[in-house]
Amino acid sequence: MEWRDEGALLSVRRHGETAAIIEVFTAAHGRHAGLVHGGASRKMAATLQPGHQVDVTWRARLDDQLGTFAVEPIRPRMVLDDRLGLAGLNAVCAMIRVALPEREAYPALWHLSMQVLDTLGAADWATRYLRWEMSLLEETGFGLDLTRCAVTGSRDDLVYVSPRTGRAVSRGGAGVWADRLLPLPPALLGQGPATQGELHDGFRMTAYFLERELAAHGGRALPEARARLIDLLTRLASPQAKADESVNRAGD
């Protein structure tokens, strides 16, 4: 068995004295693991970094074996000096590992994930990441229906999401149940970048549905890398953090 594909490196762990087992999110073969002979060497260290774009050739005698990877670098994603970029990269890689089954292709999600990784550090990256989590839910079969109100059928004034059905609810349709519904950020309806409050509501909403679906399919939990990213986004948006950043930039 043999195939060749392109993907982003998700994780690396040492195996024995000289080898490493890596996981790659590939375009046509999904999340896939394999052994890299010599993967623990200094020569391979620069290539085998989470987030790096790589060309991989997988070989095995049988399809259900771990198999081996031959890895060639395509391009690095260097974010070591960027706290938010590094936290974002770690969160995307961890979420893919937790949410996606092995060896199942998600071509649309793959393309979107590469775009999110390629734009790490962009001014609107937090909104892009929030929308990526929505796509992660949709691509894995648990998408939310935000097209019209579940109560009235209206497409206007959609401000809530039902935690039970995952469907949008309008302000008028919510009625006395409004306090039991999840806020729907306008940014998820395509209405521009998310404000800090909208990001908070959006991440709360995606976390609710991601946790529910992961628990129902294997009892998995959201990774700590996601929690660290959300915490960092919250702290960086605080007035004091913005003031500190301005001082640091002035001193550069």
CB-facing half-sphere around the CA of 24: CA atoms within 13 A? 32
Question: Kindly report the CA angle at 209 between 208 and 213, in degrees rounded to 5?
Answer: 120
The reported pLDDT for the residue numbered 238 is 53
Which helix (H) or strand (E) segment is 88 a member of?
helix 83-99
Q: Could you give the CA distance from residue 34 to residue 20 in angstroms, rounded to a whole number?
A: 8
Reduced to 3 states (helix: H, G, I; strand: E, B; else coil), residue 183 is: strand
Average confidence (pLDDT) per 10 residues, the chain, 252 residues? 96 95 97 96 93 97 95 90 91 96 96 96 91 93 93 96 96 96 94 89 95 83 95 72 44 48
The reported pLDDT for the residue numbered 142 is 86
- Of the CATH numbers 3.10.580.10, 2.40.50.140, 3.40.50.150, 3.90.1300.10, which one belongs to the domain with range 2-75? 2.40.50.140
Q: Could you give the CA distance from residue 123 to residue 17 in angstroms, rounded to a whole number?
A: 42
Q: Report which residue type is found at 175.
A: G
100 C-beta neighbours (distance < 10 Å), count: 21
Q: Are 150 and 165 in contact (CB under 8 A)?
A: yes
- Sequence spans of domains, the chain: 2-75, 83-146+184-251
Q: Are 161 and 178 in contact (CB under 8 A)?
A: no
* CATH 1.20.1440 for the 83-146+184-251 domain, yes or no: yes
